[in-house]
Structure 1
C-alpha cells in the first residue's frame, strides 16, 4: 500500500464548487477527492468562497472570481482582478505548503504555472482544457522544461494541443458509478448536456434532432444568455427542451431514460465527463470525432463518432442508435471509469513526483 499522503488540491478560480461555473472540473475534483480519501490519503481542498464538496474539508477563500479561459482570445493578455481569488488561493497555498506533501493545481490559469518554481512543496498541475491561449501554452511548456513529470491531462488528444504531449501523464476521468442507475428501456428523447456556451455547439444537436424528428432534452448551466437567446430565436422549441442545471441524482433520472447523448463540441474537448455519465446509465454516446470524446466512444459498441461539424452525420447516427447494446455502455463505464481506478492513476503520478524529490 502506498504511503498515506497529505494533499492540497487547489480548485478552479472561476466559481464556487457546486455552482456549475467550473464545468467538468467540479465533477473531476469531487470524484478525485472521494477516490483518494477511500485509499487513505488526507485531502484538503482550497476553493472560492461559497464552495461545498461532500465529505471533504474545504478551505473557502474570498476574492474576485477569474474570467473563464474559454471566453478569452488566443492573444488576450493575462488578467488578475483586484483582490483576486486566484491570487488569494495561491497565497494560502504558499503560507500552508509545509503542511502538505504535494499541492495539486486544477486551475487553468497562468499564475499557478508561473509560481511552481517558488514553492518548496512540489506542485503538480492537472491541466483541464486544451490549448486556448499563447500565454497559457508558454506557461505549460515552461513547467514541462523545468519540472518534467509534473503535468497531467485527461486525454492524449488534449495534451497534443500544447506541443509537448510526451511530457504529460494521461489520467482520464471517472464518476461515482453508484450514483447512476442503468436503464434498459429508454423513451424517445435524446439528451444534450453541458455548459450552454458557443464552443459546445448546442445548435448542431438541436438541428440534428429536428432532422431526425426526435425530441431533445437539454441539461446544463446556462452560461451565455445572449447565445441562448439566439438559439431560442432560431429553434423556438429550445426553451421547452431546457430542464436546467440539475444535481446528479435528478440529472441521472432524466439522462438514463434517453435513447442517446449527443455531444457537439466546436473546440477540442479535454475529456467530456458527460459521456461517461451517460455510459454509466447505459446511454450510448453520439459525438463529433474531436477531442476527448473520440477517445471515450467505442464506435459501433457504445456509440457512434461523426466527422466534426457534420450535422447530417449526427442525424444518420441517431437513426442507428438501436443497433447498440446499452449493457455494453454500462460495462465500459464500470471497467474504465471507476473512482478507484482514477484515484490509483493519480496516486501513482503523485508518488512519482514526491519520490523524485526524496531521492
Structure 2
C-alpha cells in the first residue's frame, strides 16, 4: 500500500510559558508527544513557541521558531464571563504573526493554545488553522466562539475526550483524538507498596486538598509533583493536614517524574472542574500505578473502575478514602496494558494525522469530516 505524501505542518505552542518550563501544564506534554509522533510518520514540522523553549527529546528534526513576549494569562483562574485578554507586549500575537507567515506555505497549522485570537482568525486567513482544544468550557466567550466557528468549519476542531467536547455547542459529532505518550520513556514498576502520589498544577481547580485529606485519614504521606501556581492555596492545603503529610516534590521532566511516580502505590486525582483529558492518569498507569479519581470530565473515560483503578462520585471524600484502601486489588500490569492499547504516541499521532488529512479533503470536495473520520 502506497504511503500518502508527507505533510508540511506548522505547530503553534501554548503562549502560557515556554516549552520545558512546566507553566503550560499538560499541553507541553501533548506537544512533545505529538511532535515526535508526527516526525516518525515522516512529516515536516515547524514549531512556533515562546522564547526559551526547548525541543522535546527525539525531535532534533524540528525547525524551532522562538518568539519573544509576555506570557498569556491562563483561563483557569479567570471568571467564566470574563473577556479575552492580551497583555502589553504579549507573546500571543507574535506567535500568530509568525505562524501565519509560515502557514502560507504549509498544508496546515495546528494550534495547541486555548485562546480566543487563533480561533477567531480561523475563517479570516488563508492558511488552514486546526485547533486541538486543551480545556473544557471554562470561558463563556470561548464556548461561544468555538460553537460559532464550528458551524461552518467543523473539521477544524478536535478534542481529547467526549466529555470535554460536550462542554461546547457543536452541531456535528465531535472529532475525538485522545492523547498519546512515548511509553518507552515510562518504566513499569511492579511493587504495590510505596506512598500516595498527586501530580498537577497546584491551584484550586485541581483539588489537592482532597488528596491531602485522604493521606491524612490513612496516616500516610502524599508526594506532590507540579508547579505551584498559587502559593497561598498551597499553604492552606498544607496547613489543613498534619505536619509531614505533604511532601512537595516540585516540577520535573518526564525522565525524573516517571521514576518517582512509579514507586507510588496509587495516584489520587481530584479535579474540581471538567478536565479535558488527564495526562497524569495515563502517565501513572504507564508506570503501573493504579489511579483513584473523581468521575468528572476526562478521567471518567480513562480509568476502568476495578481494572486500572477506581472512579468515585465527584467530591465524595469518604468514597475517595475507601477506594484508596482498595488499590491493592488492582493488577499493575493491567494499568500498563491499558496505556499501551489506548494512549501510545503512535496511536495519537495517527489519529491527528487522520484528522488533518480528512479536514483538508473534506473542505476540498465539500463533504463533512464525519464521512472520512471515525
Quickly name the TM-score band, shorter chain normalised.
over 0.9
Matched-pair contact (CA < 8 Å) for 2:151–2:171: no
Q: Do residues 17 (structure 1) and 23 (structure 2) align?
A: no
Give 2:150's match in structure 1, choosing from 130, 139, 144: 144
Q: Deviations over 1:250-271 (max 9, x none)?
A: 1111111111110000000000
Distance, in Å, in 1 between the alignment partners of 2:133 and 2:252 is 26
C-alpha distance 105-120 of structure 1, shift in aligned 2 (>3 A): same
Aligned residues between the structures = 359
Q: Do residues 46 (structure 1) and 71 (structure 2) align?
A: no
CA RMSD across the alignment: 1.3
Alignment partner of 1:46: what SS?
strand
Give 2:31's match in structure 1, choosing from 29, 32, 37: 29
When normalised by structure 1's length, the TM-score is 0.97
Shift of 1:236: 4.7
Give 2:203's match in structure 1, choosing from 192, 197, 204: 197
Distance, in Å, in 2 between the alignment partners of 1:349 and 1:76 is 31
Which residue in 2 is equivalent to 1:280?
286
Q: Do residues 233 (structure 1) and 233 (structure 2) align?
A: no
Alignment partner of 2:76: what SS?
helix
Distance, in Å, in 1 between the alignment partners of 2:321 and 2:281 is 18
Alignment partner of 1:345: what SS?
helix
Alignment partner of 2:213: what SS?
helix
Structure 2, unmatched stretches of 5+, are: 366-374
Higher helix share: 1
Alignment partner of 2:99: what SS?
helix
Distance, in Å, in 2 between the alignment partners of 1:2 and 1:236 is 59
Shift of 1:138: 1.1
Q: Deviations over 1:23-58 (max 9, x none)?
A: 110000000010010000111111111111222332
Give 1:184's match in structure 2, choosing from 180, 183, 190: 190
Distance, in Å, in 2 between the alignment partners of 1:216 and 1:176 is 26
Structure 1, unmatched stretches of 5+, are: none
Give 1:163's match in structure 2, choosing from 144, 160, 169: 169
Matched-pair contact (CA < 8 Å) for 1:190–1:260: yes
Which residue in 1 is equivalent to 2:331?
325
Which residue in 2 is equivalent to 1:128?
134
Distance, in Å, in 2 between the alignment partners of 1:97 and 1:218 is 40
Shift of 1:81: 1.4
Which residue in 2 is equivalent to 1:75?
81
Q: Deviations over 1:198-233 (max 9, x none)?
A: 000000000011112222111111111111111122
When normalised by structure 2's length, the TM-score is 0.93
Which piece of structure 1 moves more, 258-267 or 70-79?
A: 70-79
Distance, in Å, in 2 between the alignment partners of 1:138 and 1:231 is 35
Which residue in 2 is equivalent to 1:255?
261
Shift of 1:168: 2.3
Query: Residues 282-321 of structure 1 correspond to what in structure 2 (within 5 A)?
Result: 282-321=288-327
Shift of 1:165: 7.2
Shift of 1:96: 2.1
Distance, in Å, in 2 between the alignment partners of 1:83 and 1:236 is 44
Distance, in Å, in 1 between the alignment partners of 2:147 and 2:97 is 23
